[in-house]
Amino acid sequence: MTDVETTPDDALLAALWAKDEAPARDPVFELAAMSRVTRRRLLIEAAEWAVLAVPVLAIVWAIWPSLIAAAPQMARLLAAYGPLAVCIGAVALVTWTTREVFAIDP
């Protein structure tokens, strides 16, 4: 609680200031604030992914000659399992990006 000594004049000041008060519950404000927070979170996540992508790209660049050499064998594998891999990837992506909507919070 406050340790500020109050007088009747202070009560008058407080009463006049009470009209400046925001409502105790304001869903519109809370939603707007949380959408800004979510936007910030997504920006941070995107930056983290970008940081992760750099070493991955470096590794891919380093092993590129070996990948090219293995390309015919990989092409056969892709033809066999490619559509399945794409489907699994799409489901994973949709689940991850919509976790906020369905309130799947860690």
Partner 1 sequence: MGDLDAELVEAARRGSNQAFERLVGRHQQAVRGFLRRTCGDWADADDLAQDTFVAAWTALGRYKGEASVRSWLCGIAWRKALSHRRSRGRGASRDRAFAEADDGLAEAPGEEERMDLAHALAALPMEQRAAVSLCLAADFSHAEAAHALDLPLGTLKSHVTRGRAKLLEALGQRR
Please give the residue ranges that form the binding site for partner 1 (CB under 8 A): 1-4, 9-10, 12-14, 16-17, 19-26, 29-30, 32-34, 36-38, 40-41, 100, 103, 105-106
- 16 or 84: CB nearest partner 1: 16
Shortest distance, CB of residue 79 to partner 1, whole angstroms? 40
Q: Tell me whether residue 55 or residue 106 sits nearer to partner 1 (CB atom).
A: 106
Contacts of 100 (CB under 8 A, 6+ apart): 38
| Shortest Å distance, C-beta 55 to partner 1 | 25
Maximum C-alpha span of the chain: 88
Return the C-alpha torsion angle 49, 55, 60, 66, nearest 10: -150
77 sits in the region (left: phi over 0; alpha: psi -120 to 50; else beta) called alpha
* 46 vs 96: CA distance, rounded Å: 13
From the CB of 12, what's the least distance to partner 1, in Å?
7
Residue (16 or 51) nearer to partner 1, CB: 16
